[in-house]
Amino acid sequence: MIYLDYNATTPVDERVISKILPFFSMQFGNAASAHPYGRKAHEAVENARSRIARSMGADPSEIIFTSGATESCNLAIKGVLETYRSKGRHIITVTTEHPAVLDTCKWLEQKDAELTYLPVNSAGMIDLKVLETAIRPDTVLVAVMVANNETGVIQPFRRIGELCHKKGVLFFTDATQALGKLPIHVLNDNIDLMAFSGHKIYAPKGIGGLYVRRKNPRVRLSEQIHGGGHEKAMRSGTLNVPDIVGLAEALSICKDPREVQSLQNIQSLRDRLEHALTKLPGVQVNTDRETPRLGHVSNLRFEGTIGRQLLGRLNPDIAVSSGSACSTASNEPSHVLLAMGLSEDQARSSIRFSLGRFTTEQDITTAILKVTDAVRDLSGR
């Protein structure tokens, strides 16, 4: 079985596992306890917080630990809207965001928020001029992801942040798929709030974080989980010490020059796969070649009936996803591809290949052969 679904989740890196293990047994303390067990756990958490902050140009006091990006997106959007109520209740987001953002916005809309959903072009990009005209005096937040989980398309996040700051609006970005793969510096990139997750970067599932800017401007958030006042009262709940340690280790491995270099190799493998498969009749990349895109993702559209049957045909040999499989398993056509102007049929005939740290040359050679055979078989050629 070949795993080409790294955008859904990644295996935990062995180097991360070895850092985590002592915190389940020898150093099991509660980071909030005052005795030495607690103090050791607290030190480990604060050390992790500093490493994570440093890796993105933040101050340690600006990092909040959560259970993952879904919670971080909820906390950022609901927390800002509640706090900045006196300014307004208008939020701007994009039709291609992850459900962690879109469904949170829709829920708020049912209460009393006003939402603008920006469209994307056929390559999946927003238009900055459209964003600029959508900003109103009562806009409190602009929520645009760094890179899309289905297509890998990268939005011009630095310029979006610049525009937001010029207009006095907060900028929240979901960097779940981008952190560890693209250089992101919260200050230089004008980011006010940023969600991220462990399990997309070779750390465990169930751990993530939210960057919350404390200066120029100072962002205030209403807590969404009430309790013991952990994380500066922004997110209560006993800290998940092992996974916090793992998240910091995973992120610093991503920054290691050898791993940064290996992203180039992953991109070459992706290019080889994409080049071979787009030679097959009727196969096209969903986005265009000029649009900035993560180097490990290829979202391909196959011919109608072939595309719809292909996923089943590849299973169980090659683990890939239909577009929408990033959330819960559903047969709905991908909202991302529909927003890019594909028909329901085209969206259902698309497959996302996402490569990662442990993908080999041989995996790609085999994947090309298997997909090519399956397409030939299905088309009766």
Ligand X SMILES: Cc1ncc(COP(=O)(O)O)c(C=O)c1O
Q: Does 333 bind ligand X (CB under 6 A)?
A: no
Q: Does 356 bind ligand X (CB under 6 A)?
A: no
Report how far apart, in Å, the C-alpha atoms of 361 and of each of 272, 367, 368, 369 are. Answer: 10, 10, 11, 13
Binding residue (CB under 6 A) for ligand X from 78, 89, 98, 296: 98
- The SS3 of residue 375 is helix
CA distance linking residue 139 with residue 81, whole number of Å: 10
Instruction: For residue 49, give the DSSP letter.
Output: H
Q: Which is nearer to ligand X, 177 or 346 (CB)?
A: 177
Given the residues 73, 164, 254, 326, the one annotated as active site: 326
Q: Are 97 and 145 in contact (CB under 8 A)?
A: yes
Q: Does 12 bind ligand X (CB under 6 A)?
A: no
Q: Does 321 bind ligand X (CB under 6 A)?
A: no
CA distance linking residue 284 with residue 346, whole number of Å: 10
Q: Are 26 and 341 in contact (CB under 8 A)?
A: no
Say if strands 350-354 and 297-301 run parallel, antiparallel, or are unpaired: antiparallel
Binding residue (CB under 6 A) for ligand X from 10, 96, 173, 177: 177
Site for ligand X in 100-159 (CB under 6 A): 100, 145, 149
Binding residue (CB under 6 A) for ligand X from 190, 197, 322, 359: 197
Binding residue (CB under 6 A) for ligand X from 79, 161, 208, 242: 208
Q: Is 254 a catalytic residue?
A: no
Q: Does 326 bind ligand X (CB under 6 A)?
A: yes
Q: Does 55 bind ligand X (CB under 6 A)?
A: no
As measured in angstroms, the least distance from the Cβ of 344 to ligand X is 22
Amino acid at 60: P
Q: Which residue is nearest to ligand X (CB)?
A: 68
Q: Which is nearer to ligand X, 52 or 100 (CB)?
A: 100
Task: List strand residue ranges (DSSP E) for 107-213, in order.
Answer: 114-118, 139-143, 170-174, 193-197, 208-212
Q: Which is nearer to ligand X, 100 or 285 (CB)?
A: 100
Say if strands 284-285 and 208-212 run parallel, antiparallel, or are unpaired: unpaired
Residues of the chain by 3-state class (helix, strand, coil), percent to 5: 40, 15, 45
Q: Which is nearer to ligand X, 93 or 177 (CB)?
A: 177
DSSP run (H or E) holding 298: strand 297-301
Span from 153-161, 172-180, 328-336, 363-371 in contact with ligand X (CB under 6 A): 172-180
**Positions marked active-site:** 326
The footprint of ligand X (CB under 6 A) covers 68-70, 98, 100, 145, 149, 174, 176-177, 197, 208, 326
